[in-house]
């Protein structure tokens, strides 16, 4: 066997060994992200500003459809206080994709259910797509760094 082949085998073996060692961490991280999204869903459905804020990074950003970007903890607090004062939710986040790396991850979800304006009590159907960009804290936990969502086009619409 020539030296190039030996070096190639050593490099390949090292890469495979490193990937195998990281796989359990990647699985644990994906599970932590799934848990965080479930907690976010629950917090929205409970209308709990404090629980929602506990899931965001201090410099988090919320990018709702049709309104300005909400930057940082104070602005996000005001956004959710107003939102929960005016509206109640019954939402389900169905994860479509979860990806993590050592410090960053994302979760893509379909969000369905209802939002009910408290003034009318008449529920509106929710059919959204969402992207949560997550950052790992120093303690290994994950927090929402960016949350982006918008409505899906009505069924039967030619827009994709």
The 10s digit of each residue's pLDDT in 102-120 is: 999 999 999 999 999 999 9
Residues of the domain holding 82:
3-151
d(CA 36, CA 100) in angstroms, rounded, equals 13
Residue 131 inside a domain? The answer is: yes
CATH number at residue 128: 3.10.450.50
Is there a domain that residue 111 lies in? Answer: yes
- Report the number of distinct structural domains present in the chain: 1
Q: Is residue 11 part of a domain?
A: yes
Please report whether residue 159 resides in a domain. no
41-77: per-residue pLDDT in tens?
Answer: 999 999 999 999 999 999 999 999 889 999 999 999 9
Give a yes or no: residue 143 inside a domain. Answer: yes
Query: For residue 25, is it within any domain?
Result: yes
- 116: β partners: 88
Distances (CA, A) of 37 to 33, 139, 157: 6, 18, 29
Does residue 94 lie in a domain region? yes
Residue 30 lies in a domain: yes
> Over the chain, what is the mean pLDDT?
88
The percent of residues in the chain predicted with pLDDT above 90, rounded, is 74
List beta partners, residue 132: 107, 147
70-71 and 104-117 beta bridge pairing: unpaired
């Amino acid at each position: 066997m020539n030296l190039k082949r030996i070096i190639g085998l050593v490099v390949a073996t090292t890469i495979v060994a490193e990937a195998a060692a990281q796989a359990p961490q990647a699985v644990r991280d994906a599970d932590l992200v799934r848990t965080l999204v479930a907690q976010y869903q629950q917090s929205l459905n409970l209308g709990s500003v404090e629980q929602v804020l506990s899931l965001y990074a201090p410099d988090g950003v919320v990018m709702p459809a049709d309104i300005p970007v909400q930057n940082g903890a104070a602005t996000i607090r005001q956004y959710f206080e107003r939102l929960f004062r005016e509206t109640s939710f019954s939402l389900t986040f169905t994860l479509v994709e979860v990806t993590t790396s050592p410090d960053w991850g994302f979760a893509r979800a379909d969000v369905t259910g209802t939002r009910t304006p408290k003034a009318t009590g008449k529920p509106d159907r929710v059919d959204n797509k969402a992207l949560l960009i997550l950052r790992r804290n120093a303690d290994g936990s994950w927090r929402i760094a960016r949350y982006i969502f918008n409505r899906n086009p009505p069924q039967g619409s030619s827009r994709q």
